[in-house]
Structure 1
């Protein structure tokens, strides 16, 4: 009987380190890279930004598995087969994201953005220390990760508000629900944090209109999905002072090209999609366990609702 084959598919990311991780979790599986001839006959595709149309040419495919929490780069394939799609949910992912966002909020709240500018000029200036309650942080997206971020910031004393399609109850945090409440949510926000899933409604949501509704000089921390961001609008908002600063960790094209103008935009920190990354062992274990469940006919874990996009 032929071994079950898992093919690792990506057109932009080196997934070779996952071969050993999946094999350690399930030695009974054959794990191959996309350019291996055996990949064409694989039953499972483990993916990040897979080549468009590749999975439609795999006749034995039974399961598609993202190697991350996001699946938008898989769903964008117009030829995607109608098969179960799962994602990785790392129990430490929310903690890592909260650490990154907390750093970003403190970076702006304690005026470290201005300190770095002054350092480059050799200019000594001490800033008043404001109470965190005077800073309103608006979190877009209140799933497991967004809720953790909002709660952690509130515990630090920041005034926190959240916006989502259907927000879950979060004691002490002002909630705004649905598209009709977006304007009111933005108008009171000093630091905007994007943690939304990518859907038809949220694609391009970080645009000129959104930035114009924020308090003048507000800050942006973008750790959602690259396609949320209209990069030209971000550049214009920073240049005009409508936004006083931004941290962007995700971009429409990744890796960000070396000649991209965003690298040199004043008041913008570019980070390389590092806010929170699942470990190779976690990815390998969750992919292997779902393949085992598939073969046993058991319900899969972390199945994506393709209609909703997450």
Structure 2
């Protein structure tokens, strides 16, 4: 029995170290150095070559090394085994703190203060108290839920939208198109937490961005393709959108000649809102492998696009 590891294009060494620490009796094979394909029982992978999973006849589960599942959905074929998302509490905390930072940045006018400081100006700016500052969190999966609850716990007025009705304490829960329109019309900040799939590609198009209140701000921490870049740029240029903190993009790394780099009301970060830590992530992987070895279900299981009815 062994674990196939492929964290491409990132470093595998820390993952090998912690998997060996948490599961000392299970060998780890770093792709493509797999001495015996029959020995692979679990695959812990990120951007894995298309079709390679089919090579391992004794594979029992695919443990994806991230919360976003677009790379899994891009696989042309997948074996009939459980596919497990990586839900690392430390990553969720990082992403919630990232979202909270930018919410505070916009609410308290910190960018305007930076501009004033350059001119040595001692001016105080009015701002909206957090209890009246509306933050719309769009997408209430595991990460979106943690973000909504974190921001609500800091006394912001949080509007949480999902396709299906949910109940989160301290959050105004909305669903359906009418609920989305209400959330966007009232939001001072919109935080996108939707996954990227066929239903959410360019979800935020010109029609939905036109629902925003004048000067609303955007925080995108899920996937760049959820926004129509042309519509987002238009909104930023015409003032419908005040500013955008963008951590994810349709093409990554963001090309050097992309207009986002030059826009004064766009804040670019290099997909770092929730770094994956090998130490804590491998603990989660080990827990799921131990569940499988005990005949229990891993958590959370993901149904890929190719297998959705």
* Same topology, TM > 0.5: yes
Name the SS for the 1:52 alignment partner: coil
Residue matched to 1:184: 182
Residue 219 of structure 1 and its aligned partner are, at CA, apart by 0.1
- Asked if 1:90 corresponds to 2:88, the answer is yes
Residue 195 of structure 1 and its aligned partner are, at CA, apart by 1.4
Correspondence for 1:17 among 14, 17, 25: 14
CA distance in 1 between counterparts of 2:254 and 2:119 reads 28
8 Å CA contact 1:9–1:51 kept in 2: the answer is: no
Q: Deviations over 1:174-202 (max 9, x none)?
A: 22112343222211111101112333322
- Asked if 1:111 corresponds to 2:109, the answer is yes
- Alpha-carbon distance change, 147 to 294 in structure 1, aligned in 2, over 3 angstroms: closer
Residue matched to 1:31: 28
8 Å CA contact 1:16–1:33 kept in 2: the answer is: no
CA distance in 2 between counterparts of 1:15 and 1:235 reads 37
* TM, length-normalised to structure 1: 0.87
Q: Deviations over 1:282-308 (max 9, x none)?
A: 221222332333344332232223359
User: Residues 220-235 of structure 1: matches in 2 within 5 Å?
Assistant: 220-235=218-233
Residue matched to 1:205: 203
* Structure 1 spans left out of the alignment, 5+ residues: none
CA distance in 2 between counterparts of 1:12 and 1:39 reads 23
Residue 98 of structure 1 and its aligned partner are, at CA, apart by 2.1
CA distance in 1 between counterparts of 2:99 and 2:48 reads 29
Residue matched to 1:167: 165
CA distance in 2 between counterparts of 1:147 and 1:104 reads 17
8 Å CA contact 2:90–2:280 kept in 1: the answer is: no
User: Residues 250-265 of structure 1: matches in 2 within 5 Å?
Assistant: 250-265=248-263
Name the SS for the 1:116 alignment partner: helix
Residue matched to 1:61: 59
**In the comparison of the two structures, how many residue pairs are matched?**
306
Please tell me the root mean square deviation across aligned C-alpha atoms, in Å: 2.5
Residue matched to 1:44: 42
* Structure 2 spans left out of the alignment, 5+ residues: none
Residue matched to 1:8: 5
* TM, length-normalised to structure 2: 0.88
CA distance in 2 between counterparts of 1:283 and 1:164 reads 27
8 Å CA contact 1:193–1:220 kept in 2: the answer is: yes
CA distance in 1 between counterparts of 2:294 and 2:198 reads 35
8 Å CA contact 1:244–1:267 kept in 2: the answer is: yes
